[in-house]
Structure formats: C-alpha cells, structure tokens
A and B are shown apart, each in its own frame.
Chain A
Amino acid sequence: MLNFSKIKILLIYLVFFSISIFCLSNFSQLEDYFFKKKINLGLDLQGGSYLLLEVDSTPLQKRHLQSKVIPLKKKLIENKINFENFKIFEKEISFKISKEDRNKFEKIFNSTKNNDINVFLNKYRSFELDFEFLNNKIVINHSRNGIINLNTSAVDQSIEIVRRRIDETGTKESSILRRGNNRILVELPGIKDPERIKELLGKTAQLTFKLVTDGSSEFGNETFVLKDTQEKITVSKRIILTGDNLIDAKPRFDNINQEPIVAFTLNRLGSQRFGQATSKNIGKRIAIILDNEAISAPVIRDSITGGQGTISGNFTFQSATDLALLLRSGALPAPLSVVEERTVGPDLGQDSIEAGVVSLFVGFILVIFFMTFKYRLFGIIANTALISNLLMLLGFLTLIEATLTLPGIAGIILTVGMAVDANVLIFERIKEEIRKESSNTIQAFDSGFKRSIVTILDANITTLIASIILFIFGSGPVKGFAVTLSVGLITTLFSAYYISRHLTSIVVFKNREKKLLI
C-alpha cells in the first residue's frame, strides 16, 4: 500500500491540481472558457427574492367547459338525445336525460374518433373529461389528467409572459422555471422588495373592448361599475376586441388635460375589427374592461381605423406605466398566486457570508490545532490532506458551478470536521498494527492502510446516501447543504486514500531506520 509508482504519484497530483486550480477562477476576471466558471451565491447569501407561483385552474376549467357547450348541445340534438335542465357551473356541466339514452350518450362521449367534445389525450392515455350518471342526471367534469393537461399548457404559456413582464421591469439575471404541473419558480437575485413584481404577476391582464348598451342584446348583458366615475353601466357580452390584438402599448400624457393615459397600437386584424366596430357605432360608448373591471367607457366620436387608440381612466403615471407593461407583455391564461415567498435583504446576505466565512475559518483552525496536538508529525500530514481536500472541494464546486448557500457553507465546515475521520481511522489502525508487530514499521503502516480502507468506504457511503436523498428531496438552501456535503465526502475519500497515504509513505521511507511513533 505504501509503494507508489512514479506514474501513480503523477496522476494523483495531476488530479489534485487540475481540480483545485479552479478555486482561483472565482477570483479571476478572465473571460477564458475555463476560468469564467464561478461558484454562484444562493439568494440567501447575495440577497434576492424567491417566488413560487401557482396557476389557479378553476377559471381554466370553467372556460374550457364553456367552450364545450355549443358542440355538446349540437351532438345531443344530432343524436336525438332529449336533454333538459342544461346547467354550467365553475367545474361541471350538468343536464338531465332519460335512462335509455345513457348508453347512447356514453358511446358518443367516450368515442376516440373525431371526438370534439371529449378529446382523448394521447400523452396521458386518458380522456380530458369524465361523466357520472345519477338520478337521470349527467354530470360532466374534468378528469385528473384533463386538469393536468389544462395546467401544463397554462404554465407553458404563462412562463413566457412572466419572463416578459419581469424583463420589462429591468430586473436582471432572473430565473424562471417550471415546477411540477401547475407551478412556476421565479428567482430574482438582488431584488429587495418584490412587491411591484408580485403585483404585476398577480394580474392576468385580460383586456376586452365591449359596447355599452341600454337594454337588449342577443349575446346577453352584464353590468359593471366604472372605476373612474363610479357610474353603473350595462355592457353587451359580445367581445369587440381583446388584448391579443395589441402589438404595443405605452404610457403617455393626454394632450388636452395632461393626464396619464395608455396609448396602444393594434395589429392588422385588430385594426380592421376596431375600425368596423367604431364606424358602425359612432355616438355610442365603448367599455374598456381589464380583468373583470371596467376602467372607463369613452364615447366613440369617430371611427378609429389607423389601429391606434388610447385608454384613459384616472391613472397615475405609475399605474399607466404598469398597465402599458402588462398589455405589451400579453395576458396570462389564468391568474397566478404566490404560494411561497422567501426574500432576503442584501445586508442580511452579507452578514451571513461573513458569519459563514468566520465560522469556517475558526472551525478549520480548531480542527488543525487539535490534529497537530494529537498526532504531531502525522497530524501535519492529516492537515495537509485536509487543506488539499478543502481546495479540491472548492475547485469541484466551481467546476460544476454549484450554488453556495448558507447551509452549504455549514456543509463545508461539517466536511472539515468529518474529513479527518478517515485519517484518524488509518492512524489508529496503524498504531494497533505497530503494537502487534513492532519489528516491522513499514509492514505495520502497510496493513494499517489496507485494513482501514474498507471501514472508511463503509462509513462514508452511509453519509453519502443520506446526503443524496437530501439533495433529491431538499429545496432551496437545504439543497446547497446536500451538494457541499456530497462533494466533500468524495474529495475526502480521495485526499485520505491517495494524498495522505502518499505523504505517509514519504515519511515512513525516509525514517525507515528509526522507530516511528504516531
């Protein structure tokens, strides 16, 4: 165990240097391919905000069910199924049919060919809708996979819009990731107060233009209270235009009374529709509705054909800027709500870094003193192995561009405390071997290494298992702990098995005539 070939020695130190050299890249300003890698600081150390957003699937379900009403009724009539009491709720559609028609209905409802009422989702091998038949009543609602499918596509659309909204606020280096079926994780480094961003993300920003009517309309009416004048208005349900047709929106000041307004530009289709609607309805009022709230209802004075328009409504410049931003970045398919928030201010982050570094340094010094005191010469070997272990650990973390968190620093300190264990196991074993065969020191060292290695492996693998499980299940800062602990265990094995063994062999062979005492 103590004989190292030249090639092996070369290899050991080559591995050591090529990994630990990356420590330096954290301090370098080079844009070199190799040395631009750095350890990232977690949000708890650099300060920033972590937001977990969840898609609210209820409005999605309702809208999706609404889209089924017309084709469903058509299909029922086509197949001569008599139905009555047709009702639509937030999460279900219900109607009454006779018992005899039940099977007929099921056949239509669960047909896999050209079924536009109930689509078969190949990805999940299941239908998007389920139905129940009870007391002559059919109740249709979404299947589990149907809801997952709705959520997934809503998240897909939302991510892009969330990114646009955050970018528009000038926030740099944000990261936006999908989490599960219905969540989006937003990380905003350097953001101390995420309230504005939360406000922007909390709005779906669905803009519609609808005509104000005085009574009957074939599409049905709804009433709103105007936000600016508190006036009650009745609005036709027919949508003239939605925010989808917008290509740009900017905050402006009104030429006449210098009030902040939002100026928008429509795409070609939007311009056409808006032109037609406004020219037909000169003198009438058009309501501008954002997320079920009527902002204002100006009178149409002239037809607007150029695709340019403005929205007024008692805005402050800030609220006009925000509305323009929301309209520019597009509407979210469903409301997003913040289900988890963690914000750390930059000064707390700085304090944590200082506390972490100080405790790492002190812990390190304590362990080094203890080992030197306990093992003298071999203590220095163990300490050299410990330092090289630490350098490799930091180099490795840089190489994989790991994110260092406060618990992660704790993981490094813990590694320092536990790393000497491997050396202690070896030294204690050697001591025993020396006691047994005091005549042959080299032999004793050799078998000391050989016998302890199995134990070292066993002992470290158990801790490694625990930290890998923590990595899989842990979230946020705790994950950082698992990373440093796992990497630390691996570098510990390397430094104990190769570096300290090689250093020991140098000492042993140099002093082969003397009796070595550990």
Chain B
Amino acid sequence: MSKIYKYNFISKFKTANFISLLLVVASLILIFFKGLNFGIDFKGGTLIELRVDSTNIKISDVRSSFSNLNLGDLNVKEFGKKGDYLIKFEKKKFNNESNIKTIKESIKNKLDSDVNFRRVEEVGPKVSAELLNSGLLAISLALGAMLFYIWVRFEWQFSLGSIIAIFHDVLITIGIFSLLSLEINLSIVAAVLTIVGYSMNDTVVIYDRVRENLSKFSSLKISEIGNNSINETLSRTVITSVTTLLALTSIFVLGGEILKGFSLAMIIGVIIGTYSSIFVAVPILKYLNVSYKSIEKEKN
C-alpha cells in the first residue's frame, strides 16, 4: 500500500469539523429563536392561489380586498406568473363552511374582475396538529430505522457516525430554511426524509470501503484508511451528487411553484449530505479510534 492519494482529507478534518459545529449551533439557534415558518399544513389556516386576467390589478388591491373580513394574520404575495397571487391567512375560529364562500365572493366583488381560484386549501387546527405530529414521528422513525439497519450491517461506531452525519444534514437544512424564512410544509417533510435516505446512502458507500480496507490493511491507522477510502470512492461520490443535482435543478427551475420548496430543500440536503459523508462521518470513526482490532473484538 504505497499509493499516494490525490487529496489529503485528514488535514482538512479539523477546520471542516469546526465549520460543521458552527453551522449546527447556528442552525439550532435559528430554529429555537427565529423559529420556523410553518405553512398551513402544520399551523392551520387557509391558502388561496388565484389568477386575475385584468392587468391593472395590483398586489395592494388584492390585499385590501380582504381588509374588512378580519381574517387574522394575512399574507399576500405574487406567485410565479404576473397576475398570480398566493394568499395565506390564519383564522382564529375555524369554520370551513362559511369561511371560503364569503372570502371568494368578497374577492370577486372587490376586485371587480374575473377571478380564477386555482387552488384553495384549508386545514383545521386539529388536523394540522396531527399532521405535525405524524411528520415528526415519521422523521424520528426513519432515523431510528437507519440506526438499526446500520447497527445490523456495521459496528456501533459506524452507526453513531452515520447518525451524527444525518443529524448534521437535517439540522443545517432546516436551519437554512429558518434563516431564509422558507415555508415548512408536508412536502418539506418528504424532502427531509429523502435527504435522510440519500445522506445515509452516501455515507454507507464510504463506510463499506472503510470496512473493506480495515480488514485488508489491518496495520494501517484509521485516519489513513479513512483518507484512502474517501479518495477511492470520491469520483463516485461526486458523479452521483452531480446527476442527482442535475435532476433536482431541473425540478427547481422547471417544475413550477409548488415544487420549488421541495426541490430547494433537496438540493441543500444533497450538497450537505455529500459534504457530511466525507467530512463528518469519516472523522467520527477516527475520533472513536476505530481499528481492525476494535472491530474484531466487537464481533466476538
């Protein structure tokens, strides 16, 4: 084993880990103090996407058409094409039956134009609480299942390493969503779960190689084995990230407004997931002093 690998990752571990730690702490601070911008799926409320053909209607007209309805926290924004608006509000007392009808009529009258209601969504407080709970449960279960799978297939050090890497990815992705005040809705939960899967996938490929090299070169130190393994799998890691990102960018740019948040979360997650499988998952094996001996001992 005299091969000199192109990149020396070990020397970068310290800096990388410091940055990771900083990012995770910053994300946690953001999540706890700035909070998350929950969509109606998790907060309850009403969402209306409408299209007006008349060109002389301004966003302020749309906003003022709600002024006397007393709908609570109101949010109007342009959405994609000109003349498309997305309106969100949170009505304290939930009553679907009377709600939407009066709102629709009021908008039509006030704007004095043909209004096309492209999308109407309303989630009651009970349902939104349930959706939030089941979303959190799904993510925790996915993490648990990953932990279990890796624990069965590998040794506990690997299990710990990959779980830390996943937490790192999910926390930073959510932190970025908090920083940019991007909406968290059901499709973001789907994105987070896919990120968990992807990040795990990426980590497993490198770990597989680490394990293989550990038994092949039992005398080498873990840091060297880690570095070799990263280098050997590097082109795969990069190529797969590139193809996945190509597909995701295509969704982000061309997939329409509804998939924007989902594809953005995935793009962030894939980038961070790729980074973490090299700069988080492998250093942890080093810190845990994984060696051929310790793995063998574990087995017996």
Residue ranges of A at the interface with B (Cβ–Cβ < 8 Å): 44, 52, 54, 192-193, 195, 198-199, 202, 337-345, 347-348, 351-352, 355-356, 358-360, 362-364, 366-367, 370-371, 374, 406-407, 409-410, 413-414, 416-418, 420-421, 424-425, 428, 432, 454-455, 458-467, 469-470, 472-478, 481-482, 485
User: Known contacts A463-B198, A469-B138; is A455 also within 8 Å of B208 by CB?
Assistant: yes
Segment touching A, from B55-63, B241-249, B282-290: B241-249
In whole angstroms, what is the CA distance A472 to B253 when docked? Answer: 30
A-B contact pairs, 7 of them (CB 8 A): A355-B255, A410-B263, A417-B248, A458-B208, A466-B193, A470-B142, A475-B131
Interface contact A425-B205, CB-CB below 8 Å: yes
B297 to chain A, nearest CB (A): 23
Which residues in chain B, 167-187, are within 8 Å of chain A measured between CB atoms? 186-187
Closest to A480 in B: B190
Kindly list chain A residues whose C-beta atoms are within 8 Å of the C-beta of B245. Answer: 417
Kindly list chain A residues whose C-beta atoms are within 8 Å of the C-beta of B263. Answer: 410
Residue from B126, B145, B150, B244 in contact with A339 in the complex, judged by beta carbons closer than 8 Å:
B126
In whole angstroms, what is the CA distance A195 to B122 when docked? Answer: 13
Closest to A421 in B: B240
User: Known contacts A344-B118, A413-B250, A463-B201; is A195 also within 8 Å of B101 by CB?
Assistant: yes
Kindly supply a per-residue 1/0 record for chain B positions 21-37, scoring 1 wherever the CB is within 8 Å of any chain A CB and 0 otherwise: 00000000000000000
Kindly list chain B residues whose C-beta atoms are within 8 Å of the C-beta of A358. Answer: 254
B236 contacts partner chain A, Cβ-Cβ < 8 Å: yes
B87 contacts partner chain A, Cβ-Cβ < 8 Å: no
Kindly list chain A residues whose C-beta atoms are within 8 Å of the C-beta of B117. Answer: 192-193, 343, 345
Interface contact A473-B262, CB-CB below 8 Å: no
Closest to A489 in B: B197
10 closest residue pairs by CB, A with B: A417-B247, A466-B197, A363-B250, A355-B256, A463-B197, A473-B138, A338-B96, A359-B254, A417-B244, A462-B200
In whole angstroms, what is the CA distance A462 to B144 when docked? Answer: 11
Interface contact A406-B97, CB-CB below 8 Å: no
Kindly list chain B residues whose C-beta atoms are within 8 Å of the C-beta of A195. Answer: 100-101, 104
B39 contacts partner chain A, Cβ-Cβ < 8 Å: no
Interface contact B196-A366, CB-CB below 8 Å: no
Residue from A341, A407, A421 in contact with B190 in the complex, judged by beta carbons closer than 8 Å:
A407
A40 to chain B, nearest CB (A): 19
Residue ranges of B at the interface with A (Cβ–Cβ < 8 Å): 49, 51, 95-97, 100-101, 104, 116-124, 126-127, 131, 134-135, 137-138, 141-142, 145-146, 149-150, 153, 186-187, 189-190, 193-194, 196-198, 200-202, 204-205, 208-209, 232-233, 235-236, 239-240, 242-251, 253-256, 258-259, 262-263, 266
User: Known contacts A358-B254, A359-B255; is A344 also within 8 Å of B124 by CB?
Assistant: no
Residue from A339, A340, A364, A466 in contact with B146 in the complex, judged by beta carbons closer than 8 Å:
A466
Kindly list chain B residues whose C-beta atoms are within 8 Å of the C-beta of A363. Answer: 246-251
Interface contact B259-A418, CB-CB below 8 Å: no
In whole angstroms, what is the CA distance A68 to B243 when docked? Answer: 68
Kindly list chain A residues whose C-beta atoms are within 8 Å of the C-beta of B119. Answer: 342-345, 348
Interface contact A345-B153, CB-CB below 8 Å: no
Interface contact A478-B254, CB-CB below 8 Å: no
In whole angstroms, what is the CA distance A407 to B146 when docked? Answer: 23
Interface contact A469-B205, CB-CB below 8 Å: no
In whole angstroms, what is the CA distance A364 to B250 when docked? Answer: 9
In whole angstroms, what is the CA distance A410 to B191 when docked? Answer: 10
Residue from B116, B131, B194, B204 in contact with A345 in the complex, judged by beta carbons closer than 8 Å:
B116
Q: Identify 19 new A-B residue pairs, CB closer than 8 A, beyond the known A344-B118, A370-B246.
A: A195-B101, A202-B97, A339-B96, A339-B123, A342-B119, A347-B116, A348-B118, A348-B119, A359-B254, A363-B249, A366-B250, A367-B246, A406-B258, A407-B187, A413-B248, A417-B246, A428-B233, A463-B194, A478-B186
Kindly list chain B residues whose C-beta atoms are within 8 Å of the C-beta of A410. Answer: 251, 255, 259, 262-263
Residue from A202, A367, A416, A465 in contact with B197 in the complex, judged by beta carbons closer than 8 Å:
A465
Closest to A474 in B: B190
B114 to chain A, nearest CB (A): 13
In whole angstroms, what is the CA distance A363 to B244 when docked? Answer: 9
Interface contact A467-B250, CB-CB below 8 Å: no
Interface contact B236-A465, CB-CB below 8 Å: no
Kindly list chain B residues whose C-beta atoms are within 8 Å of the C-beta of A461. Answer: 149
A236 to chain B, nearest CB (A): 31
Closest to A469 in B: B142
User: Known contacts A195-B101, A202-B97, A478-B187; is A341 also within 8 Å of B120 by CB?
Assistant: yes
A501 to chain B, nearest CB (A): 17
Interface contact A417-B243, CB-CB below 8 Å: yes
Kindly list chain B residues whose C-beta atoms are within 8 Å of the C-beta of A347. Answer: 51, 116, 118
Kindly list chain B residues whose C-beta atoms are within 8 Å of the C-beta of A364. Answer: 247
Kindly list chain A residues whose C-beta atoms are within 8 Å of the C-beta of B126. Answer: 54, 339
B207 to chain A, nearest CB (A): 9
Closest to B246 in A: A366
Kindly list chain A residues whose C-beta atoms are within 8 Å of the C-beta of B208. Answer: 454-455, 458
Closest to A343 in B: B120
Residue from B145, B186, B197, B232 in contact with A474 in the complex, judged by beta carbons closer than 8 Å:
B186
Interface contact B145-A458, CB-CB below 8 Å: no
Kindly list chain B residues whose C-beta atoms are within 8 Å of the C-beta of A485. Answer: 194
Closest to B185 in A: A478
Residue from B193, B256, B266 in contact with A467 in the complex, judged by beta carbons closer than 8 Å:
B193
User: Known contacts A466-B194, A481-B190; is A416 also within 8 Å of B149 by CB?
Assistant: no
A389 to chain B, nearest CB (A): 13
User: Known contacts A359-B255, A366-B247, A469-B141; is A482 also within 8 Å of B190 by CB?
Assistant: yes
Interface contact A469-B193, CB-CB below 8 Å: yes
Interface contact B201-A459, CB-CB below 8 Å: yes
Residue from A355, A469, A475 in contact with B186 in the complex, judged by beta carbons closer than 8 Å:
A475
Kindly list chain A residues whose C-beta atoms are within 8 Å of the C-beta of B146. Answer: 462, 465-466
In whole angstroms, what is the CA distance A202 to B96 when docked? Answer: 10
Closest to A481 in B: B190
B98 to chain A, nearest CB (A): 9
Kindly list chain A residues whose C-beta atoms are within 8 Å of the C-beta of B200. Answer: 459, 462-463, 466
In whole angstroms, what is the CA distance A470 to B140 when docked? Answer: 11
Closest to A409 in B: B255
Interface contact A352-B247, CB-CB below 8 Å: no
B150 to chain A, nearest CB (A): 8
Closest to B244 in A: A417
B267 to chain A, nearest CB (A): 11
Interface contact B239-A424, CB-CB below 8 Å: yes
